[in-house]
């Protein structure tokens, strides 16, 4: 295998090759850097990268006697997550040159397991809605989604084997669906958030963008000190809940096609399909999520609002203004609705193994000023359940269209296992 193909392998395959001694960490890192050199002018996925430093990390690992479970694996880090050796600048002039003294917990754990922290990926400003320069790797005239824009684009474009993202509304799954990656948002707060710049602390969840379900499972096994999730036998016949959600009317033709095709072929594979209808009260969750986001973000960024308002985009300034003037009762009502809805969810899902739902409205919209509608992801984010976007379909413009699987809270390993099963059944459509 030539060096320039190493960046195209899965994270799982790379770890196995480095562990066996058939390739070096330096060669893998160089392959990623070569891809970045060739494509970064178009994709613009990286907020910070130092090729010499990345290679120095890899050489140190190659000289080490002990190999960790992620030895030599290049990883990207969304630029709202702290790194001790690289700036964390939040895509904001207010944080230009900001250098944390310590790694975020999630970064420290992957580094200790032998990962090469390749660089910082572009985020929308403070993980909000004001986009950075990143483009969709399949067509630079289209958005990559947000706010984990750089992570989704870099992974999908073979620049890096995996990357951290964060999701407050739809910021992991939407870039995954738009760019054609696996986007995994765990159960709320499953990945420790120490070292993350909060947006809204009752919503923010650190997640992963990878190329395969196995890769997400590999990284989670390190972050949680657990075995890999179980392999489900191909002949197993799951019970799948089909949940359109209250936003079904906003689904474009390509998303409806992806849902219908997935349901048809999973049913042909032996799955039993059960329609899941959410209670009417759940229709208010999107409004509640927006209230939580604005109220909590205005507290997180109170100092910036008071003292550096001129350095904030109009997008985020409006959110902070909304949150600052919001009455406490509005916020409390949003929290109450969220808690009540979570308490109902187990009964609503019943005995289904997982739910299938739209991952996004459709293909990535044209233009870079709008990162897409977050409703199909945000309604699950406020419910704190694990969700994953799988790259299974394409739309009329040849751009990726994902599907979303949803699990019960704390049933992440089961969701990953079923995601692997689903990908194996739908793979011929790719």
Burial of residue 263, with CB atoms counted within 10 A of its CB: 0-12 exposed, 13-18 middle, 19 or more buried: middle
Q: Are 53 and 85 in contact (CB under 8 A)?
A: yes
Q: What is the pLDDT of residue 427?
A: 81
Is 171 noted as a catalytic residue in this protein?
A: yes
Q: Are 86 and 48 in contact (CB under 8 A)?
A: yes
Tens-digit pLDDT string for the chain (430 aa): 556 599 999 999 999 999 999 999 999 999 999 999 999 999 999 999 999 999 999 999 999 999 999 999 999 999 999 999 999 999 999 999 999 999 999 999 999 999 999 999 999 999 999 999 999 999 999 999 999 999 999 999 999 999 999 999 999 999 999 999 999 999 999 999 999 999 999 999 999 999 999 999 999 999 999 999 999 999 999 999 999 999 999 999 999 999 999 999 999 999 999 999 999 999 999 999 999 999 999 999 999 999 999 999 999 999 999 999 999 999 999 999 999 999 999 999 999 999 999 999 999 999 999 999 999 999 999 999 999 999 999 999 999 999 999 999 999 999 999 999 999 999 854 4
Q: Are 423 and 224 in contact (CB under 8 A)?
A: no
Is 44 noted as a catalytic residue in this protein?
A: no
Is 78 noted as a catalytic residue in this protein?
A: yes
The dihedral of CA 355, 422, 381, 170: what is its sign? negative
Q: How far apart are alpha carbons 244 and 13 in whole angstroms?
A: 35
Residues sharing a CB contact under 8 Å with residue 99, sequence separation 6 or more, in sequence order: 87, 88
CATH of domain 239-282+335-429: 3.90.1300.10
Q: How far apart are alpha carbons 372 and 400 in whole angstroms?
A: 14
Q: What is the pLDDT of residue 2?
A: 58
* Domain extent listing, the chain: 3-224, 239-282+335-429
Give CA torsion, residues 14, 19, 25, 31, to 10 deg: -30
Q: What is the pLDDT of residue 430?
A: 44
Q: How far apart are alpha carbons 84 and 66 in whole angstroms?
A: 23
Residues sharing a CB contact under 8 Å with residue 20, sequence separation 6 or more, in sequence order: none
CATH class of 3-224: alpha beta
Q: What is the pLDDT of residue 399?
A: 98
Q: What is the pLDDT of residue 400?
A: 98
Q: How far apart are alpha carbons 105 and 113 in whole angstroms?
A: 12
Catalytic residue among 147, 286, 313, 389: 147
Q: Are 342 and 406 in contact (CB under 8 A)?
A: no
- Report residue 274: phi and psi, to 5°: -120, 125
Q: Are 390 and 182 in contact (CB under 8 A)?
A: yes
A 10 A CB-CB count for 101 gives 6
Nearest to 86 by CA among 188, 153, 164, 28: 164
Nearest to 247 by CA among 170, 348, 142: 170
Burial of residue 40, with CB atoms counted within 10 A of its CB: 0-12 exposed, 13-18 middle, 19 or more buried: middle
**What 3-state DSSP class applies to 47?**
strand
Instruction: Provide the whole-model pTM.
Output: 0.97
Catalytic residue among 129, 171, 298, 313: 171
């Amino acid at each position: 295998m030539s060096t320039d193909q190493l960046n195209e392998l899965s994270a799982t395959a790379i770890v196995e090759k480095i562990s066996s001694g058939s390739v070096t960490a330096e060669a893998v890192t160089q392959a990623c850097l070569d891809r970045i050199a060739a494509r970064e002018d178009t994709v613009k996925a990286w907020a910070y990268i130092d090729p010499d430093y990345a290679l120095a990390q890899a050489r140190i690992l190659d000289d080490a006697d002990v190999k960790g479970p992620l030895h030599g694996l290049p990883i990207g880090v969304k630029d709202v997550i702290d790194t001790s050796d690289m700036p964390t600048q939040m895509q904001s002039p207010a944080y230009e040159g900001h250098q944390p003294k310590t790694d975020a917990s999630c970064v420290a754990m992957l580094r200790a397991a032998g990962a090469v922290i390749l660089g910082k990926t572009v985020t929308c400003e403070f993980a909000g809605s004001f986009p950075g320069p990143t483009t969709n790797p399949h067509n630079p005239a289209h958005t990559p989604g947000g706010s984990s824009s750089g992570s989704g684009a870099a992974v999908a474009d073979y620049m890096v084997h995996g990357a951290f993202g964060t999701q407050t509304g739809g910021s992991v799954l939407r870039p995954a669906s738009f760019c054609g990656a696996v986007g995994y948002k765990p159960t709320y707060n499953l990945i420790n958030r120490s070292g993350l710049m909060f947006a809204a602390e009752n919503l923010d969840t650190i997640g992963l963008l990878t190329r395969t379900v196995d890769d997400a499972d590999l990284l989670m096994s390190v972050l949680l000190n657990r075995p890999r999730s179980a392999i489900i036998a191909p002949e197993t016949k799951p019970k799948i809940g089909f949940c359109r959600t209250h936003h079904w009317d906003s689904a474009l033709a390509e998303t409806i096609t992806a849902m219908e095709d997935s349901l048809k072929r999973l049913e042909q594979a032996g799955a039993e399909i059960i329609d899941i209808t959410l209670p009417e009260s759940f229709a208010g969750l999107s409004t509640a999520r927006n209230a939580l986001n604005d109220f909590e973000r205005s507290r997180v960024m109170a100092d910036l609002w008071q003292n550096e308002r001129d350095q904030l985009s109009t997008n985020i300034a409006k959110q902070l203004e909304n949150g600052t003037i919001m009455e406490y009762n509005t916020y409390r009502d949003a929290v109450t609705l969220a808690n009540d809805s979570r308490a109902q969810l187990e009964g609503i899902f019943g005995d289904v193994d997982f739910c299938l739902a739209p991952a996004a409205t459709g293909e990535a919209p044209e233009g870079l000023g709008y990162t897409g509608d977050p409703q199909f992801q945000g309604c699950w984010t406020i419910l704190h359940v694990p969700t994953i976007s799988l790259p299974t379909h394409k739309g009329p413009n040849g751009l990726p269209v994902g599907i979303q699987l949803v699990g019960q809270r704390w049933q992440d390993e089961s969701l990953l296992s079923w995601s692997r099963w689903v990908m194996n059944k739908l793979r011929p459509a790719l």
